[in-house]
Amino acid sequence: MSWLSKFSGGTKTSAGTSAAGPARQERPAHAPKIVIDHHDYVPEEFALGSFRIRPYDGDLIAKQQFDFRMIFDLGNDPVDVVCRGLVVKLNDQTGLVARYQSPQPFYERKLIDYIRAWKGV
């Protein structure tokens, strides 16, 4: 076995999981919660680096930067992350579409694990 295959998942067990990789997380029971100006929203679409909230009834405007909190449970471990976002688009049809900067590395790893569990990857 080559050196590269060890890092790319070449050490698969018969169960289909990596011998050195973490166990698969259970699918989270709840969608992440986005808190903007003390108002809780459940995003209609959510991905690493962006989200969509529809309907949105807050005070943000297009191209505005804003602070928000992302709250989710990862294996019965509540995670509360403070992030910085940018309004990409905001109207009645699309709702609030925003991009956000990656959080600190510790929280970014937790967010990636959450998204993997949510999508069943």
CA distance 53 to 100: 13
End-to-end CA distance of the chain: give it in Å, rounded: 25
- All domains of the chain in start order, with CATH: 31-119 (2.40.10.220)
- Select the more confidently predicted residue: 60 or 16: 60
What pLDDT is stored for residue 2 in this prediction? 52
Task: Quickly state the pLDDT bin for 7 (edges 50, 70, 90).
Answer: very low
CA distance 21 to 81: 25
| pTM, full prediction | 0.73
At 120, the amino acid letter reads G
CA distance 11 to 5: 8
Q: Report whether 98 contacts 89 (CB < 8 A).
A: no
CA distance 11 to 109: 22
CA distance 29 to 73: 8
- Select the more confidently predicted residue: 118 or 72: 72
What pLDDT is stored for residue 14 in this prediction? 46
- In tens, the pLDDT along 10-52 reads 554 444 444 444 555 577 767 799 999 999 999 999 989 999 9
